[in-house]
Amino acid sequence: MFVSEIENGWLLSLVGSSSVRVVETVKMAIALYKHNIPFILWDAEEILRMITGTDYIGIVPDTVFPRYCHGLFPKNDRIIDFMNLGFEKVDKITENASWYPVEEVQLDK
């Protein structure tokens, strides 16, 4: 949560779309709303998808730290949470995942 000065006063903003912060962010948003306190919820659509279980989680290679990986996925998919595949339940995860097509790589002759 942070406050910014704007032309006619102040603007209250909430940011917290990571999986470890989203519950607290939503609780704060609900409290502000119930008390008629105006605010902006950053990534509101993505947060709604996270808490309703309709979001996508980007799976990145084990060599990539799963944070700030937005550029590895199409912007239209609005993926904001990322993970490495890991070692647990790999079969279940991979069979339920949606995969992007693999781009062919060709060597010049």
Question: For the segment 24-44, what is each residue's pLDDT rounded down to a tens digit?
Answer: 999 999 999 999 999 999 999
Return the pLDDT at 30. 97
User: Where in the chain are the domains?
Assistant: 1-55, 56-101
Distance CA 49, CA 79 (A): 10
Q: Which parts of 1-109 are beta strand (E)?
A: 2-6, 9-14, 40-41, 57-60, 81-84
| 103 band by pLDDT with thresholds 50, 70 and 90 | confident
Q: Does residue 23 carry a pLDDT above 80?
A: yes
Q: How far is CA 36 from the centre of its chain?
A: 26
Q: Does residue 109 carry a pLDDT above 80?
A: no
Return the pLDDT at 18. 81
Strand pairing category for 81-84 and 2-6: unpaired
Q: In what order do the strands lie in the sheet with 40-41?
A: 2-6, 9-14, 40-41
Distance CA 54, CA 61 (A): 23
In this structure, the dihedral spanned by the alpha carbons of residues 92, 93, 94 and 98, taken in order and rounded to 10 degrees, is 130
| 74 band by pLDDT with thresholds 50, 70 and 90 | very high
pTM of the entire predicted model: 0.70
